Structure 1
C-alpha cells in the first residue's frame, strides 16, 4: 500500500507542470569566486514553446512563473569547454516533472573562456562553484522559497562527473590515476609530474542526496579515494569513451565505490553521446561533438537516458 501511495504521489506531482520555465541566472561574485553565469529550468503551468537561445532551440517558456511548493533541486555540472545548455533536454524533462534545475558555466572552463581549463586550479574550484550555486538557489534566487533544501540532487558529465564525486566525499589522486595526458605540455600535465596537485582544500556538500554521473573523469584510482562516498549514485558509461575518459575508467567507480551504484553501459556510444542532440548549426560547426559513429541514435538514447535519470531522482529524493 505504501508503494502504491508513493507512486500516486509521484504521478500527481508530475501533472502539476506542463513545460519548463526558462530563466537566465547570475550568481554574484563573493570571496569564494567570480560571478557564475547560469540557467534555471522550473515547473511551469503553460504549454511548451520553442525558445531560441543562441544556436539551440529549447522547449519551454521564458520567465514563466514557477508552480509548486517544496520542489526538489537538481544542479548540473557539464564537461570541459561545454555550456550550461549541453544537457538542456534532461533539464527540460526534470522541470516538466516538478523539479527545479540549475546549470552553470564554470569560469575559466567553458566554451567562451578556456583560460584555466588545463590547470589544476580548475579541478579544485569546480566543486566550490556548485556549492555556491546551491547556496544561491536556496537563499537568493527568486524561487528560493519554493525549493526543498532536503531534496537536492546532482547531474555531472565528464569533468562534471569528477565534480560530483568530490562533492560526495571523493578524494582525487591525480598522480596515481589512470588519466591520459594527451598534451604533455599542458599545465595540468606538468603540474602532475611535479607533484603540484594540492592547489587548495576540496569542497564537499552533504546537502546533495543523490548523484547521476555520466562518463565521469576518473581521478579516483582506489577504494580508499572513494571510501567516503555514501550517497546513492546512478552511473553511466559509454562503450568507447573519449576526450580523456578511457572506457575502463568510466567503469572503475562501479567497482570501487563503497555502495554499488545503479550502473548502465551504453553500447556503441562514445563520450559525447551524453550531450543533448545537436541542432544543425552546432553539428556543422562541431561534428566531433555532435556526429555519432556506429549507427548510434543519440535522439533515441536520450529519451531513455532522460527518463532513467528522472526515475532515479524521483526515487532517491522522494
Structure 2
C-alpha cells in the first residue's frame, strides 16, 4: 500500500511539473519568477579528515501550496520543513560553479523536488561566494568531487532520515566547475597537460592563477570517481580533460553547452567533451545563450549585486528557457534513475 501511495504521489507531482512547464512556455513566469514549490530543510555533513563541514540545503517533494522565501537576494519557491513523503526518493546533488552558491540553481532544485526527488545543494568550501581561498589551487579539482561524495555518504549512511534516500538512484547536476565535478564523479580523469594547453595559452584571465600552478612539473590534478553516481547532467562544464579521459565513464550523461560560452568555457571545449565520451551523451547547444544562462533567473536585488551574472545576450529569454531546461533535466533523471515499480 505504501509503495502504491508513493507512486500516486510521484505521478501527481510529475503531472503538475509537466503542466507547469507547458504553462511557463506558453505564457512566461509569474512576477516572482517561480517554477515550483518544494520542501526546504537543512543538514550538516560533519568535518572529517581535514575536510570542512558542508551545510546542505535539502529540497524534497511538498504537498503544501507554494510559498516564496526571501533568502538573501533570491526568491525561492519552497516551504521550510515541509513533511517529506514516506519511502525512498531518488537523490540528485547540485554542484555550483566557481564562486557560486548552493542557491544558484534553486529553480532546478525545486523542479526536481516537485517531480519526486530529494535534492541536496551546498557551497563548495574554498570555491564559493565569500569563500574562495582555494579556488586557484589545483587541489580544488580533487576536493570538489570529494565534497559531493561526502554529502552522498552522509545522506545514505548517517542522516537521521536516511531511509528516505534510494541509494541505488543517485545523480549529479553540475554547472561550469560543477560540470567538471560531475564528469569527474562519473569517471572522467582530469589531464593536467591537456588542461594547461587548452586554457593557459589564451586570454582567459579567470584561469591565469590556476594556470601558473598547473604549469609546475610537480602539480597534481586528480579526482576520485564515485560508483554510486548513476547519471549526471553537466552544464557548460569546465574542460580539464584530455582525449582519453573518459574511457571509464559508463553512465548516462546529459551535456549542455551555451552557444556563446564565457568565463573560461567555450562551445568548442564542451564539444571536445562530447566527442571524447565513449557513449554519445544527450547533447544540446543552447542557441543565443551565454555561460550564465544556466543560473537561476535573477531577481532585481540579485541583479544589483551581480550584474555580470544577470546580463543575457540580446534576444535570449532566460526565464522562458529555464522552463525548458528544468523539464529536460527532470526527464533525463526520470529515464535514468527511476526504477520500475515492483509487479503486484
Which band: TM-score by shorter chain?
over 0.9
3-state SS of 2:303 partner: helix
Aligned residue in 2 for 1:154: 172
Measure the CA separation in 2 of the matches of 1:141 and 1:92.
21
1:27 aligns with 2:49: no
Q: Tell me by how many angstroms 1:286 deviates.
A: 1.1
2:226 is aligned with 1:205: yes
TM-score (norm: length of structure 2): 0.85
Which of 70, 83, 88 is equivalent to 2:88? 70
CA RMSD after TM alignment: 2.1
Match of 1:190 in 2: 212
2:19 is the counterpart of 1:14: no
Question: Contact conserved, 1:184 with 1:190, CA < 8 A, in 2?
Answer: no
Deviation at 1:19, TM superposition (A): 3.4
Structure 2: 5+ residue stretches without partners? 1-6, 18-35, 339-344
Q: How big is the shift at 1:40? A: 0.9
Partners of 1:125 and 1:185 lie apart in 2 by 18
Corresponding residue to 1:164 among 182, 204, 216: 182
1:286 is aligned, of 279, 295, 306, to 306
Distance in 2, Cα, partners of 1:269 & 1:310: 21
Aligned residue pair count: 310
Q: Which of 90, 95, 100 is the equivalent residue of 2:108?
A: 90
CA distance in 2, matches of 1:258, 1:61: 41
Find the counterpart in structure 1 of residue 70 from structure 2: 52
Greater mean alpha carbon deviation, residues 11-20 or residues 54-63: 11-20
**Alpha-carbon distance between aligned partners in 1 of 2:8 and 2:80, rounded to the nearest angstrom:** 30
Q: How far is 1:8 from its partner?
A: 8.7
Within 5 Å, which residues of 2 pair with 1:133-148?
Answer: 133-148=151-166
Aligned residue in 1 for 2:139: 121
> In the TM superposition, what whole-angstrom CA distance separates every residue of 1:11-39 from its partner, at most 9, and x where no partner exists?
35636998311112221101151111221
TM-score, with length taken from structure 1: 0.92
For residue 236 of structure 1, the aligned residue among 237, 240, 256 is 256
Is there any run of 5+ residues in structure 1 with no aligned partner, and where?
Answer: 1-6
Deviations 1:171-201 (A, max 9, x none): 11122231246349954211211123326x5
Whether the 8 Å CA contact 2:89–2:117 is kept in 1: the answer is: yes
Query: Following the alignment from structure 2 to structure 1, what is the Cα–Cα distance between the partners of residues 15 and 125?
Result: 36
Per the alignment, do residues 296 and 13 of structure 1 end up closer, same or farther by CA in structure 2, a change over 3 Å counting?
closer
Q: Does structure 2 conserve the Cα–Cα contact (< 8 Å) formed by 1:66 and 1:143?
A: no
Instruction: Decide whether the 8 Å contact of 1:41 with 1:92 is kept in 2.
Output: yes
Contact in 2 for aligned 1:183/1:189 (Cα 8 Å): no
**How far did 1:279 drift?**
0.9
